[in-house]
Structure 1
Amino acid sequence: MSSKNGEVSEEAWQRFCDKHVMAAFPGGYTVFDATGYWRSGTDTAEKEHTKVILVVAPADAREKVMSVARQYRKEFDQNAVLISSSETKMNFVQKENTDGK
């Protein structure tokens, strides 16, 4: 992950998550390491290490997502932060209680 001031360290990323992401989504979230690819304004192929945050939240949480994205863009001097949303259904497959309770 990079910013105009160089690479975003893992420590800086973790501080950001602890301060902003966990505050917005205390029920939890998942982070994936990824590589982003795109064409720059000069039509040069670009790539960089990035992070993907997965949040399962109701539709009315969109402003929280936007707030975290704006904070990341500001704190790490980004040109843009991608947000993708979709409707989903989820279930947890939990461990069965084996003691009869």
Structure 2
Amino acid sequence: MRTKITTTTLVVGAALALGSPLVTASAAVPVAAPAPGSVAGSSPSTAYVETQLFFGTARPDGGPAVTARQFQDFLDRQVTPRFPAGLTVQEGHGQYRDRFGVIESERSYEVILLYPASAAPSADPKIEQIRSRYNEQFAQESVARVDQDARVDF
């Protein structure tokens, strides 16, 4: 299974710019208003978790940046097998403060995962494996993670 990468503009790393090497946040998201033309409560939604992962491409050791092909291969081998039901990838540009206090600017990718809240205990180790493998494979300092509750209807 191939994952298509779409391009948008991202500003990534506000928390990382504060010197945090790892970001894990959790916040409740209010249920959205019903879609125009629908009746409130007519479309059941399910409790989900939305996880955003932010992958930088610059290498702190000064090596060559992670290429689009390398990132696609990483998605195909490490992310998609763990989340075969689907995901979204957005390409962007971000910045963060590295462990030496230097502001680094880089091309980045945001991967968005949606999964039922009931699956969170089994999803968490998969997500942590993805983060760890990216850090190891591409000599990264961190992959930022943001988790939030969501109400989802497909």
TM-score of the superposed pair, with normalisation by structure 1: 0.81
Aligned pair partner of 2:152 in 76, 81, 90: 90
Kindly tell me: are residues 49 and 30 of structure 1, through their superposed partners in 2, closer, same or farther at Cα, counting changes over 3 Å? same
Q: Aligned partners of 1:49 and 1:57: how far apart in 2?
A: 27
Q: Deviations over 1:46-81 (max 9, x none)?
A: 311100100001322111111111111111110111
Where 2:70 maps in the other structure, the secondary structure is helix
More helix by share: 1
**Which residue of the partner structure matches residue 58 of structure 2?**
2
Higher relative contact order (CA 8 A, sep 6+): 2
**Which residue of the partner structure matches residue 55 of structure 1?**
113
Name the aligned partner's letter for residue 70 of structure 1.
S
Q: Aligned partners of 2:147 and 2:73: how far apart in 1?
A: 24
Say yes or no: does 1:73 pair with 2:135.
yes
**Which residue of the partner structure matches residue 95 of structure 1?**
none
Say yes or no: does 1:37 pair with 2:95.
yes
Per-residue deviation, 1:87? 0.8
Q: Aligned partners of 1:71 and 1:43: how far apart in 2?
A: 24
Identity %: 25
Q: Aligned partners of 1:18 and 1:81: how far apart in 2?
A: 18
- Structure 1: give runs of 5+ residues left out of the alignment: 93-101
How many equivalent pairs are there? 92
More strand by share: 2
TM-score of the superposed pair, with normalisation by structure 2: 0.55
Q: What do you get for the CA RMSD once the two structures are aligned?
A: 1.5
